[in-house]
Copies of this chain bind each other. A is one copy, B any other.
Amino acid sequence: MHILITGAAGFLGQRLLHRLISRKELCGQPITHLTLVDQTQAAVPDAPDITIHNDAVDITAPNALDGVLDRKPDVIFHLAAVVSSAAEADLDLGMAVNFDATRALLEGCRTRRLNKTRLVMASSVAAYGGDLPDVLDDMTALQPQTSYGTQKAMCEFLINDYSRRGLIDGRVLRLPTIVIRPGRPNAAASSFASSILREPLNGEEAICPVPLDQALFVMSPDKVIEALVHGAEVQEEALGKFRAFILPGITTHVAEMLEALREVAGAEAVARVRHEPDARIEPLVASWPARFETAKANQLGFVGDRDFKQIIDAYVAEHR
């Protein structure tokens, strides 16, 4: 079993890498080779029984993935992407990384007849947008309102068509907002969703720019990684007529998140959250869909978090 991870130096890539090394197998086969691709060399944990190729590659360069695909990976986790704000700031960069590199990856597999290779790609709840219904389901139209969402949606179609034609075996998982991310607050509009929990747990102040009743559709990093792994293991026959679908996040709202924080870390932690409405962030977050019926993912065996408290408990256990 040879696995390729693009974006291997990133947050999800690193977590996935550790998970794969610790589970030692995928799809019932022992993992013998891992190929890691990112702009910079990915950090590599100790893995005595696995041959690891670690390639710093600009995936937007012509034929960048030739050498990597010549090794004929059985499973590809395609996580490399530029984030929403970067894709919005630079259309050409977003198209090159988020769309053209995915197309080149598909073409590279097609050229090498890797039609049994399972390609698991991360798409995003950002592919949704427009005049959405209160509760979305598997047949809700994608009407992305960002270039990032547009590029992800285009990749979904391309992967579906290449899969339908038998050129690759693709699976595209639309990820909910990931909470709790590690690190520091950043410019992303979603930054607060992790920050209002992470900073108070670390004894620091955080700013909440949205109302207490703001709903969010979230998934913990652990469940996302489990979903990626499961995405590789699902049988092709079960995937039906379209290869992309939303993962079973949970719907929560800010008040519930803070109540869970209080249960875990006490009222003094909640008191570290300052409420400062932000007219720039509020409408953006309000436009994100928060309620889904995830019938397809459920049927395929994907599992989300039980409740929001479990998400905090897992973070605390990991970072203690």
Q: A141-B139, A141-B142 are in contact. Are A147 and B161 (CB under 8 A)?
A: yes
Copies in the complex: 2
9-residue interface stretch from A31-39, A125-133, A310-318? A125-133
Minimum distance in angstroms from A215 CB to a CB of chain B: 19
Which residue of the partner chain B has the closest CB to A138? Answer: B141
Is A242 in contact with chain B by the CB < 8 A criterion? yes
Which listed residue, B141, B147, B157, touches A154 by the CB 8 Å rule?
B157
CA distance A161 to B153 in the complex (A): 11
Is A91 in contact with chain B by the CB < 8 A criterion? yes
Main SS at interface, chain A: loop
Q: A157-B150, A158-B150, A161-B147 are in contact. Are A131 and B139 (CB under 8 A)?
A: yes
Which chain B residues lie closer than 8 Å to A130 at the CB level?
139, 240-242
Which listed residue, B131, B144, B147, B160, touches A143 by the CB 8 Å rule?
B160
Is A320 in contact with chain B by the CB < 8 A criterion? no
CA distance A14 to B129 in the complex (A): 36
Is A140 in contact with chain B by the CB < 8 A criterion? yes
Is A145 in contact with chain B by the CB < 8 A criterion? yes
The size bracket of the interface on A is 20 to 34
Is A116 in contact with chain B by the CB < 8 A criterion? no
CA distance A158 to B95 in the complex (A): 10
Minimum distance in angstroms from A141 CB to a CB of chain B: 5
Interface code A165-201, partner B: CB below 8 Å = 1, 0 otherwise?
1000000000000000000000000000000000000
Is A230 in contact with chain B by the CB < 8 A criterion? no
**Are the C-beta atoms of A91 and B165 separated by less than 8 Å?**
yes
Is A309 in contact with chain B by the CB < 8 A criterion? no
Which residue of the partner chain B has the closest CB to A129? Answer: B241
CA distance A158 to B240 in the complex (A): 26
Cross-chain pairs A/B with CB under 8 angstroms, 9 sampled: A129-B242, A138-B141, A139-B140, A141-B142, A142-B157, A144-B157, A144-B160, A154-B154, A154-B157
